[in-house]
Amino acid sequence: MTTPYTYENSRRLFEKAAGVIPCGIYGHFSPAPLVPPEHYPFFAQQASGARFTDIDGNEFIDYMCAYGPMVLGYNYEPVDRAALAQLEKGNCLSCPGPVMVELVEKLVNTVAQMDWAFFAKNGNDVTSYALMVARHATGRKKIVAIRGGYHGTAPWAQTFGHHGVTEEDAAQMVRIPWNDTAAFEAVLEQYPGQVAGFIATPYHHPVFADNELPAQGYWQKIEALCRRHGVVLIVDDIRCGFRLDLSGSHAYFGFTPDLVCFCKAIGNGYPISALMGTEAMKSAAAKVFYTGSYWFSAVPMAAAIATLDEMARINAAAAMLAYGEKLRDGLVETARRHGYNLKVSGHPSMPYLRITDDPTLMLHQQWCGECTRRGAFFTSHHNWFVSAAHTEEDLARTLEIADEAFAVIGDNPQKK
């Protein structure tokens, strides 16, 4: 059996951080959803391939991939080499570098049906810009989104009741259930000529809940309704983008949006996001003023070009799918041997897992924690990510750890 990790240095540094930083560690890296917290590291110091090492020297096979950005592997040499070569020329200058145009051309030739690109830093930047473009293009205010969907932390993307969010912030947002085209039709009838855009992820990946793929024909019906009512169709491909299909998740599911938001995997960890759109949206986008101090940084753009080239060269989407399917099948079988039902939902490259034998999720949290402190970094509240860097050795060790963790929490007596 593996000796469980301990995290003395992480705990000491977190106490110091909490004295000078709100929450100590804020946002989606906050320790709050990591339960039991004593099973998790809070600070990492180095990484390579599909693994990272925390400040106590513990090594983890990483199934969060920095919550999505790591797609080819940490410290992936071809991407880092391209970034360093650009850094020697210049990064944040008083004019954009030619690399910006090169990256746009690369994206337009890669992503299906998209004719232009605009760069920022975070997913939140481009989802917010997409709403502004949709509103300017239509002269309308209301945006339809999916209940439980996540599009960033701008006030419009949160709901009233979250700290700092007012009723007015989300007044023009209408939320409907996923996979419910009738609900979208009802909104269009309730607010005729008032809906500017429909925004959703390619499939539904909320937290603390099973993920759901689109029903047969769902996206085609949504697209038809948007065309009929003059609504801008926006895909938030921040998490899924380039993991399902290098041409975009809309190509994977077979429909054509007006705007697509990318981030995470586009730069393999370098800070860049992109809004892409059809020719019909280009004029509206050009008239919306939107910018940022570091949005023209050349180093992340060079990294993104190299990332796209490498993902195409090694067929990263197929590699992630194959590994994800093996991981899913292996974990489900391991759980079965211990008398548990492990449900895996969503796409195999971005799976969400849940032990169904305990509806409180406490058992699942315990199992994820026991896996983590043995070297397989699992979270219980969020979809996982696999990368093109995960190996057969990683898989074998992960399944060993999972088996040990089930032994620790105990075989399910109700299944015997």
Give the pLDDT means over successive 10-residue stretches in the chain (416 positions). 96 97 95 95 98 98 98 98 98 98 98 98 98 98 98 94 92 97 98 98 97 98 98 98 98 98 98 98 98 98 98 98 98 98 98 95 97 98 98 98 97 68
Q: Which of helix, strand or coil describes residue 340?
A: coil
Give every CB contact of residue 52 below 8 A, 6+ residues apart in sequence.
44, 46, 59, 60, 62, 74, 377
256 token code pair: 């054509």
- Residues of each domain in the chain carrying CATH 3.90.1150.10: 8-62+316-415
67 token code pair: 């919550």
The CA–CA distances, whole Å, from 123 to 151, 201, 397 equal 8, 12, 33
Q: Which of helix, strand or coil describes residue 188?
A: helix
DSSP state of 384: -
Q: Which of helix, strand or coil describes residue 244?
A: coil
Say how many CA atoms lie within 13 Å of 293 toward its Cβ.
0
The pLDDT assigned to 160 comes to 87
Third-level CATH fold of 8-62+316-415: Aspartate Aminotransferase, domain 1 (3.90.1150)
CATH number of 77-314: 3.40.640.10
The CA–CA distances, whole Å, from 248 to 107, 231, 263, 316 equal 10, 21, 12, 13
Longest dimension (CA), the chain: 69
Put simply, whether the predicted model's pTM sits higher than 0.95 gets the answer yes
Give yes or no for a contact between 339 and 415, defined as CB atoms under 8 angstroms apart: yes
- Residues of each domain in the chain carrying CATH 3.40.640.10: 77-314
Give yes or no for a contact between 125 and 292, defined as CB atoms under 8 angstroms apart: yes
The pLDDT assigned to 415 comes to 63
Report CA 166 to chain centroid distance, whole Å.
26
